[in-house]
Amino acid sequence: MQEWTLRSGRSRTVAANGFESVPHNRWEESDEDDWETDSETSDRDSPSEPKCEITDEEDHNDNDGLDDTDHNHNAPPPKADQERYLADIRRLAEFLGRQGLDLLHQTTFELTQVLDESQRMALPVLQQCGLDGNYANPVRDTMKPIIYTAMVFPDSVIGELDNLVSIISTGADIYTVEWADDFWVGDVEPDGVMSPTAYAKATGMVEEWEEALRRAGYDPREVFIEDERRRPYIS
């Protein structure tokens, strides 16, 4: 005889001749699918590994992959996450550079958008790809457009001149003096002599320029004096 256990927990005994030793009509024929052996019961009751549920739920908060649980687009990510993220980007850029692909060149046309909009990690990412304060846009033959582009948006929603300060801090030549090209000449007329300080004066953002210089470690007064000293020597 073999003992069987129903999934419901009840047991029944079946003799070797196939007849069951239970009262008549106690079990219905449809119960057969509900049987399982003692060994099956043991397997079912044994401890198992916890299940890992994988969901494909859309991130409606536009999370960028950083551990930024509050999803606040204007708040910086945790410092450790940011450093790890940027280090990965730098390694990727270096690897692709060895394969002949310049990530920075591929994103040049997005530079204005990067400096203008509230994409808190966009500029640091480009800096890991090789962008520095003296980067010259390959679509222009003259000028140093990155610093001037950063100066166009000093009060962007990225906040408090952060981008401009970052550009200055990564080596921008704040003393450069040159003839403005066609794109910028209208901002520094009538003489057409362009420099970051001259641009700040011409566009009414002297206060923002001075604040950015201070935050980047410069004395604004000395910068303005040096700018005036260099202007007569442009040829």
State pLDDT tens for residues 42-91.
455 555 544 444 444 444 444 444 444 444 555 556 767 777 766 776 77
| Residues 199-223: tens digit of each pLDDT | 899 888 899 999 999 999 999 999 9
| Residues 146-204: tens digit of each pLDDT | 788 778 765 554 455 788 888 899 888 999 888 887 777 787 877 888 899 998 998 88
Confidence of residue 112 (pLDDT cuts 50, 70, 90): low
Contacts of 128 (CB under 8 A, 6+ apart): 86, 87, 89, 90, 93
Tokens representing 128 are 């890991």
Q: What is the Cα 90 distance to its own chain's centre?
A: 13
**How many residues can be counted in the chain?**
235
Q: What is the pLDDT of residue 69?
A: 43
In DSSP notation, 28-93 reads -GGGGGGEEEHHHHHHHHS--PPP--------TT---SSS-TT--TTSPPPHHHHHHHHHHHHHHH
SS3 state of residue 106: helix
DSSP 121: T
DSSP 27: S
Q: What is the pLDDT of residue 119?
A: 54
Decide: pTM greater than 0.75.
Answer: no
CA-atom Rg of the chain in angstroms: 35
Q: What is the pLDDT of residue 157?
A: 44
Q: How many CB atoms lie within 10 A of CB 177?
A: 20
